[in-house]
Structure 1
Amino acid sequence: MARLLIVHHTPSPATQAMLESVLEGAGTDEIEGVEVVSRAALGATPVDLLAADAVILGTPANIGYMSGALKHFFDTVYYPCLSDTVGLPYALYVHGNSDTTGAVRAVESIATGMGWRRHRPPVTVTGEVTRRQREACWELGAVTALAAAERAQGT
């Protein structure tokens, strides 16, 4: 069975709404054979990442950067997983009150350094999360679950 890992830092109602939509999309009945594993960024481990066929990262934009919790996740997994996760499909969602640019840039820089492959453009939201943005998060979850299934099948 394929495994999709969702690593998130969810301190606000906005990031919670985005996470819920990602989880709904990833767990849709139309996608079979994918186990969805959700971990808070401070609790996710190298073992979680090494078992994943794809990963979705979720973070608020804090002071122009990803959350400290997501940065901690990267610090924890970087060396133990560096050579074994090359090519891993990943996706990203970010919420900010006024800007998400720095957070997106930081996550993409680290993911590129790890040799991961961005599966979809990030879903970024500033301010309140709209219905259309929740739908974009749902789609991000669904298509990344499909990427996990494809990677597990070796296609």
Structure 2
Amino acid sequence: MKRLLIVAHSPSPNTTRLREAAERGARHPDIDDVEVVAKPPLEAGPEDVLACDGILLGTTENLGYMSGALKDFFDRSYYPVLEEKQGLPCALYIRAGHDGTGTRRAVESIVSGLRWKWAQEPVTLRGEWQEGFVDQVEELALTLAAGLDAGVL
């Protein structure tokens, strides 16, 4: 059994919907051998990363950067997982009120330092809220979980 860790900052009803969509996608009925663990960034830590086989990160864009909560997660987890989790498959979604470029660049820089492997391109949900954002995040999580389930990630 593989374990997918979802670490998503969800401070609003809409971002909570995105986290729920990620969980729903990762728990798709066609996926048999993936356990899903979802935690807010302030509750997730290095022990969760060490126990997972893939990670999905979710953040808001805050002043052109990732949420402070996700940054805190990285600050606490970086060195304890650095050597043991190189190559960890990961994915990212960003709920960006503007363009999300700075947020993406910041997370990519940390992920690069950790030597994690992008399972697919980060998804940036830009501008005013759109219902289609929910489907995009669900699909992202489903794809990551399916890759783990199939043994290709």
Measured against the shorter chain, the TM-score band is over 0.9
Alpha-carbon separation, structure 1, partners of 2:82 and 2:14: 31
**Superposition TM-score, scaled by structure 2 size:** 0.94
Alpha-carbon separation, structure 1, partners of 2:128 and 2:23: 19
CA RMSD after TM alignment: 1.5
| Structure 1: gaps of 5 or more residues | none
Alignment of 1:97-136 (within 5 A): 97-136=97-136
Matched, 1:91 2:124: no
Q: How many residues align?
A: 153
- Mean alpha-carbon deviation: is it higher for 127-136 or for 93-102? 127-136
Alpha-carbon separation, structure 2, partners of 1:137 and 1:36: 15
Q: Secondary structure at the match of 1:29?
A: coil
Alpha-carbon separation, structure 2, partners of 1:104 and 1:14: 20
Matched, 1:49 2:55: no
Identity of aligned residues (%): 46
1:72 is aligned to 72
**Superposition TM-score, scaled by structure 1 size:** 0.92
- Mean alpha-carbon deviation: is it higher for 91-100 or for 53-62? 91-100
Structure 1 runs (4+) greater than 3 angstroms displaced: none
Q: Secondary structure at the match of 1:146?
A: helix
Q: 1:104 to 1:154 in 2, by over 3 A?
A: closer
Q: How far does residue 15 in structure 1 lie from its aligned partner after superposition?
A: 1.5
Query: 1:17 is matched by which residue type in structure 2?
Result: R
Query: 2:109 is matched by which residue type in structure 1?
Result: S
| Structure 2: gaps of 5 or more residues | none
Alpha-carbon separation, structure 1, partners of 2:82 and 2:147: 20
